[in-house]
């Protein structure tokens, strides 16, 4: 179990550092997202076939409609999130994206006939209050910061759509669904990628190309493989709790490496959003929806985020 926890924590640290890489890549969000999906998918497929395990074609066919829709949500989520990174601090964009479990919780009674506990209702309102703190402080960041928060919220809505889709997957391994959803995300992004003229590597040096490869191989392929290696050996609550290493790491890395500073109001907003989702996942009551039932396990079927 110690090894599984270490793998999960390491994967969350990788996801948490993603914004630092994206900030340094001089391409548009669509181009960056397309490369991440394409390279990540190819890397995971290569690992699958080199290990002799291959893919479960029957399971993929059975779940193809859901995988296709989920892949579209993922691709669109990346565009919004990467734009958020461009316009506001990495820490704020990451916290906004973590409003997704709040959205899923709010929709659960309608979509899955779940009954919300009093604690979860309180957590939803606390997270919204935290978001209000971030938004009110966003004015101090200027129009760019407010735009970044808007992109981050749009990313959260799309992220929630992906989570809902993954609740309908049946009899498919996390590794297979991840490889397919990354591929579907890249497929969804391809028309937009081509319409934008692709990427001119004339203005990209070795550093930029290396960052793109890092984003696809490390921040997609390696991180997801570590995640899926870890979660079978850990309780659901441990997975849910340790998943919050990602936003904590994003905030810490952005402070130490990018020199980003949070005001007292922004910090309070981050604590309210992340704290309320954390409490809701661990003590808000058991979900009656199909397994997996925690947001942390659902998000692994992608993304990271």
Q: What is the pLDDT of residue 119?
A: 83
Q: Is the pLDDT of residue 296 over 60?
A: no
Q: What is the pLDDT of residue 104?
A: 81
**Given pLDDT bands bounded at 50, 70 and 90, which one contains residue 141?**
low
* DSSP code at position 117: P
Q: What is the pLDDT of residue 8?
A: 87
Calculate what percentage of the chain has a pLDDT beyond 70: 87
Give 143: exposed, middle or buried? Use CB within 10 Å, 0-12, 13-18, 19+: exposed
Q: What is the pLDDT of residue 131?
A: 82
Q: What is the pLDDT of residue 69?
A: 95
- 119's tokens: 């604690």
Half-sphere exposure of 152 (CA within 13 A, CB side): 27
- Whether the CB-CB separation of 123 and 105 falls below 8 Å is answered with yes
Instruction: Look at residues 41, 27, 13 and name the one whose alpha carbon lies nearest to residue 85.
Output: 27
User: pLDDT of 228-256, one tens digit each?
Assistant: 778 777 776 677 778 888 888 998 999 88
User: pLDDT of 46-103, one tens digit each?
Assistant: 988 888 878 889 999 999 999 999 999 999 999 999 999 999 889 889 989 988 878 8
Mean confidence (pLDDT) of the chain: 83
User: pLDDT of 3-42, one tens digit each?
Assistant: 888 988 999 999 999 999 999 888 889 999 999 999 999 9
**Given pLDDT bands bounded at 50, 70 and 90, which one contains residue 156?**
very high
Q: Is the pLDDT of residue 211 over 70?
A: yes
For helices 264-283 and 118-138, give the axis angle rounded to 10 degrees.
160
Query: Using CA atoms in the order 216, 217, 222, 228, what is the torsion angle rounded to 10 degrees?
Result: 50
Distance CA 86, CA 74 (A): 18
């Amino acid at each position: 179990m110690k090894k599984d926890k270490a793998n999960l924590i390491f994967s969350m640290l990788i996801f948490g550092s993603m914004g630092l890489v994206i900030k340094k890549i001089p391409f548009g969000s669509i181009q960056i997202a397309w490369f991440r999906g394409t390279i990540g998918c190819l890397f995971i497929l290569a690992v699958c076939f080199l290990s002799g395990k291959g893919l479960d074609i029957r399971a993929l066919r059975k779940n193809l409609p859901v995988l296709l829709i989920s892949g579209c949500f993922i691709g669109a989520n990346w565009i919004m999130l990467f734009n958020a990174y461009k316009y506001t601090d990495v820490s704020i964009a990451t916290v906004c994206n973590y409003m997704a479990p709040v959205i899923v919780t709010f929709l659960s009674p309608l979509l899955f006939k779940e009954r919300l506990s009093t604690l979860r209702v309180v957590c939803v309102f606390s997270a919204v209050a935290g978001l209000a703190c971030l938004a009110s402080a966003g004015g101090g960041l200027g129009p760019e910061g407010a735009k970044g928060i808007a992109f981050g919220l749009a990313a959260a809505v799309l992220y929630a759509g992906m989570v809902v889709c993954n609740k309908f997957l049946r009899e498919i391994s996390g590794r297979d669904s991840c490889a397919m959803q990354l591929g579907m995300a890249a497929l969804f992004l391809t028309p937009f990628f081509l319409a934008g003229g692709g990427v001119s590597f004339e203005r990209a040096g070795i550093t930029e190309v290396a960052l793109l490869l890092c984003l696809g191989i490390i921040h997609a392929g390696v991180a997801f493989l570590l995640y899926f290696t870890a979660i079978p050996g850990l309780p659901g609550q441990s997975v849910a709790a340790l998943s919050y290493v990602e936003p904590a790491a994003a905030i810490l890395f952005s402070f130490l490496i990018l020199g980003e500073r949070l005001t007292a109001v922004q910090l309070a907003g981050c604590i309210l959003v992340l704290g309320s989702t954390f409490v809701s996942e661990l003590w808000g009551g058991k979900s009656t929806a199909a397994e997996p039932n925690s947001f942390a396990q659902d998000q692994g079927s992608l993304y990271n985020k």
